[in-house]
Structure 1
């Protein structure tokens, strides 16, 4: 049996920035610091920030007057921003800059008189934040069937944007369906799916060609982690999504001839290390290898008040 680690894996630049914003805010202003929704979708990360003094809330109503609040990496609607301003809250925005880029696209397209179709998962915070950039004129689709069921006048000027953490392959299918039904539809100048999502999915495709079992480290509410599992399953591999080493099924490990391990963009490397350690204890002497992959050098700056 052998274990191969995917590259790249784990934290992306947007996640690193969001976590750093919470940590710096606590250092500078003291606990508690309020965070609207999970700053990133990972239980281990959020629990660690809670220990440092972060308080995660569902809505701004749960934030005391005059307190400091941080918006999560997934972004928020215009209504949420306006509410924070109205209440005089000190705000630090941890929205991933690549999500902000999509928000800006929506604003520009709506100003140009276009209605917008968003490709994304209903209920995901990023989708809610992006749809909330416009007071109307937006439609959400997730599948090709959703495209067929759209009730839009053929003469309506249309554009589309996508959630940044989608499956690249699935998104391409939906985009093809949109272009077939609405030939004049306008797309973004560059792909909305973020570099980290695409790189990690490409790495899993490569891993699936070498390993029969794929272990994805990530939380169940992490969109990009779920997409990694789906990519592996689509290639006929036995794939599992786990949050922590104790979630690993011993029989799965002992019965596998080759195991590939990757991690979602919000999963810290320490969890990968702990899972590798557990596998090593179950099968002493098992060979471990780091697969080659794309080197990522993207970084995002912090707000000036925290840098």
Structure 2
């Protein structure tokens, strides 16, 4: 990025930002399916929570539906990155749909944990947002055993059949701090409560929140690029807000309000895990055109996470067999 000469005002661009491995995989699943099978390809719900991504894929021939009854019997259907319940899988089978599963592997991990604990007779305290598609899917694995916990008040009030046989699981896109408080309450109320072997909040959510916390003392404003229904993007705004620094979630540069920039000399910019990089670069240029003449990138952690394609797309006709992010982390998942 070029300096336009106005050195008095600065943009700090956070890294890591934007697409995570699960999002890259999900988007590429749709594109590859369209290339291999041709349009139309149906997608249940938004493939990821970003309206720009959805509109791009619509232009390529993807058809997004809320209900499986909108998909003609026998057609090809993609499950979104957020996962689905067993009931949805059964319905797709009944309608003889050719399913390609783009569920993020880290979401699948939580589903498998729910199944395991339910089989062992545990009450499952599922921490997350009740209306989010990820929670709906995980809850559907064991609805008779599962209690959704959205707040610390819920954690204080929940009653389970056997307090000595209880576990907790979490949505992958939550605030680390908020979740920590809920888990502390659950551990106090249920001393024998068990959790997952490794935390359910995904690496990308954690890394982007860490970056926001690190930059907050250095800026007067944080802009988060992401759609309004993106859970992990909303959490970035909340994390920054708790530091006292104003933060706003914007779909793209057109959502930025000029009054937010008044009296501000240092703006930090990041993006949720489903926000395309071109929207970030457009925002940076927009800020530079308004006098923010210096841009520096702050690296917090490297990411190098990759996921294989769903088995439905693995074959000789598909050239791409591994999806990788453009940024680097210490380990491959």
TM range (shorter): over 0.9
Aligned match for 2:45, one of 18, 37, 46: 37
3-state SS in 1 of match to 2:306: coil
- In the alignment, structure 1 residue 152 sits paired with structure 2 residue 156: no
- Check the 8 A contact 2:129/2:135 in 1, yes or no: yes
1: CA distance, partners of 2:73 / 2:251? 35
Structure 2, unaligned runs of 5 or more: 1-8, 314-320, 322-333
In 1, are the aligned partners of 2:164 and 2:192 still within 8 Å (CA)?
no
Corresponding residue SS for 2:15: coil
**In structure 2, which of residues 114, 121, 136 is the aligned counterpart of residue 128 of structure 1?**
136
The answer for the alignment partner of 1:286 in structure 2 is 293
Q: 2:75 aligns with which of 63, 67, 72?
A: 67
CA positional deviation for 1:249: 1.2
In 1, distance between residues paired with 2:60 and 2:222?
33
Structure 1 residue corresponding to 2:34, chosen from 26, 48, 62: 26
* TM-score, normalization by structure 1: 0.98
Q: Is the aligned partner of 1:4 residue 2:27?
A: no
Partner of 2:204: 196
Q: How many matched pairs?
A: 306
Mapped to 2, the partners of 1:274 and 1:135 lie a distance apart of 44
Paired with 1:303 and 1:172, the residues of 2 have a C-alpha distance of 33
Query: What SS does structure 2 have at the residue aligned with 1:259?
Result: strand
Deviations 1:237-287 (A, max 9, x none): 01110001111112322431110000000001000000011111111x610
Given candidates 274, 279, 296, the residue that maps to 2:282 is 274
Aligned-residue offset at 1:209? 1.6
- 8 Å contact kept, 1:253–1:279: no
Normalised by the length of structure 2, the TM-score is 0.90
Map of 2:316 onto structure 1: none
Query: Judging changes above 3 Å, is the alpha-carbon distance between structure 1 residues 88 and 153 closer, same or farther for their aligned structure 2 residues?
Result: closer
Within 1, Cα distance between the matches of 2:83 and 2:235?
20
Conserved 8 A contact 1:115-1:156: no
What RMSD in Å do the two structures reach over aligned CA positions?
1.1
Give, in whole Å, the separation in 2 of the partners of 1:52 and 1:254: 40
**Structure 1 residues 124-133 or 297-306, which shifts more?**
297-306
Name stretches of at least 5 consecutive residues in structure 1 with no aligned partner.
none
C-alpha contact 2:42 2:65 (8 A) present in aligned 1: yes
1:260 match: secondary structure: strand
What residue in structure 2 maps to residue 179 of structure 1?
Answer: 187
1:41-52 equivalent positions in 2, closer than 5 A: 41-52=49-60
Residue deviations 1:124-146, cap 9 Å, x none? 00000000111411000111110
- Separation in 1, partners of 2:256, 2:78: 33
Alignment of 1:166-245 (within 5 A): 166-245=174-253
